[in-house]
Amino acid sequence: MSEQQIKITLAQLNPTVGDVTGNAAKARAAREKAKADGADLMVLSELFIAGYPPEDLVLKPAFQSACRAAIEELARETADGGPAMLIGTPWVEDDKLYNACALLDGGRIAALRFKANLPNYGVFDEKRLFARGPAPGPVTVRGVRIGVPICEDIWLEESEDYENVVECLAETGAEILVVPNGSPYARDKADLRLSIVVARVTESGLPLVYLNEVGGQDELIFDGASFALNADLSVAAQLPAFEENITTLTWRKTADGWRCNGPIATQLEGDKADYAACVLGLRDYVRKNGFPGVLLGVSGGIDSALCAAIAVDALGADKVRGVMLPFRYTAQVSLDDAAKLAAALGIRYEILPIADAVNGFEKILAPVFAGMERDITEENLQARARGTLLMAISNKTGAMVVTTGNKSEMSVGYATLYGDMNGGFNPIKDIYKTEVFRLSSLRNGWKPDGALGPSGEVIPVNIIIRPPTAELRENQTDQDSLPPYDVLDAILERLVEREEPLATIIEAGFDRDVVTRIDRLLNIAEYKRRQAAPGVKVTRKNFGRDRRYPITNRFRDFGKTLPEPDERLVTRGSRASAEAFEG
- CA-based nearest residue to 152, from 201, 191, 112, 114: 114
Q: Which amino acid does the sequence have at 36?
A: A
Look up 151 and say whether it is catalytic: yes
Q: What share of the chain is helix, strand, coil (3-state, %, to 5)?
A: 40, 20, 40
Q: Which of 26, 67, 101, 115 is catalytic?
A: 115
Contacts of residue 432, Cβ cutoff 8 Å, sequence gap at least 6: 406, 407, 408, 485, 489, 492, 493
Look up 67 and say whether it is catalytic: no
Crossing angle of helices 433-443/270-288, nearest 10°? 90
Q: Which of 26, 46, 435, 500 is catalytic?
A: 46
Query: Dihedral angle at the C-alpha atoms of 452, 455, 458, 460, nearest 10 degrees?
Result: 170
491 burial class (0-12, 13-18, 19+ CB within 10 angstroms)? Answer: buried
Handedness of CA 310, 316, 317, 319 (dihedral sign): negative
Q: Which amino acid does the sequence have at 520?
A: R
- CA-based nearest residue to 100, from 131, 142, 62: 131
- CA-based nearest residue to 199, from 167, 237, 240: 167
DSSP character for 495? Answer: I
Q: 324-353 as b/e, with b when 16 or more CB fall inside 10 Å?
A: bbbbebbeeebeebbbbbbebbebebeeee
Q: Which of 151, 168, 260, 278 is catalytic?
A: 151
Phi, psi of 248 (to 5 degrees): -100, 125
Q: 273-290 as b/e, with b when 16 or more CB fall inside 10 Å?
A: bbbbbbbbbbbbbbebee
Q: Which amino acid does the sequence have at 567?
A: E
Side-chain-side CA neighbours of residue 207 (13 Å) = 26
CA 275 to each of CA 145, 299, 441, 531, 567: distance values in angstroms, whole numbers, following the listed order = 40, 21, 11, 25, 48
Active site residues: 46, 115, 151
